[in-house]
Amino acid sequence: MHYRKFGRTDMNVAEVGYGAWGIGNSGWQGADDQESLRALHRYLELGGNFIDTAFDYGKGHSERLVGQAVREAGKYVYVATKVPPKNEQWPARAGVPVEEVFPGDHVRQMAETSYKNLGLEVIDFLQLHVWSDEWVGQGDWLEVIEGLKRDGLIRYFGVSINDHQPENALKLIETGVVDGVQVIYNVFDQSPEDRLLEVCQQHGVGVIARVPFDEGALTGAITPETTFPEGDFRNTYFGGDRRQQVDQRVRRILEDLQIPREALAETALRYILSHPAISTVIPGMRSIRNVERNVAVADGRGLEPEKVQKLHAHRWVRDFYTPAEEDA
């Protein structure tokens, strides 16, 4: 396992972290708790030391599973979690005052709840689960964050940037109050490369890359015939003709890079890890098989420069988080 410095902090985190959304059994459906725990343990056995979860992943269910696995492993693991917006709006909407989203008492209450759910000595990295740069200098949330640090509940602080809005945290980063950020970054969504990643490097801010496989699209597993369990958010994410669009885009990547479909997931991870600003990438891993396959990529090697250059041509500007019209 290869490790990277998390910004200016003292954390050296595994290149491949563990994304714990899927094990919360909300959004992604079909997780089995015992299988999830086995996957978590296998990740830790292989040298993994960074797990990202959130209260909203099953209203604490993911946090409790993560805490259980870490305690059972008996080793120090860096754990990150997130405070949900009080108004339960994802992403943060323009013009909504921070007092409606992250009032100080809500931030503290949810941090304390997550602390209890995890059952660990400290939360290494606490994030606000949405963000808008309109909030810089507004409200009492920062005072509360500083208090949580003084009280020993958290060590470091950051934000999870709104989907497809990487530049909506630049002002916050430049204030110097955040230790890290989390952002969607993958072969299709390359927008963090425009400004965000450079600014993070300049300010010593760690970067967690989420959605590395575009919810499965960049594993090569999504075809026009793919179906998902009832209630799974991917029914909306890949609604309408989106599965056909994904299949066509993936075929072009495979042809351009001259790689087999089974090499796509590794290629997708290595593309992300090729950027020096990235501290860790957090694929969701609900099975031992996926843990072993993804962790194998954490060997300190990025993607060959010529392949990185070719993949730049496969940037795809679209927002699958907006519901698609279903085919008639």
Mean pLDDT of the chain: 94
pTM of the model: 0.95
- Can you give the residue ranges of every domain in the chain? 3-312
C-alpha–C-alpha distance, residues 32 and 23, integer Å: 8
pLDDT score at 231 = 83
pLDDT-derived band at 327, boundaries 50, 70, 90 = very low
Q: For 159-168, write each residue's pLDDT tens digit.
A: 999 999 999 9
Pairing of strands 12-14, 3-5: antiparallel
Write the DSSP assignment of 157-175 as a string of letters. EEEEPPTT-TTTTHHHHHH
Residue 229 has pLDDT above 90, yes or no: no
The fold of 3-312 is: TIM Barrel (3.20.20)
Q: For 85-104, write each residue's pLDDT tens digit.
A: 999 999 999 999 999 999 99
pLDDT-derived band at 18, boundaries 50, 70, 90 = very high
C-alpha–C-alpha distance, residues 67 and 73, integer Å: 10
User: Can you list the positions of beta strands (E) in the chain?
Assistant: 3-5, 12-14, 18-19, 50-52, 78-83, 123-128, 154-160, 180-184, 206-210, 280-281
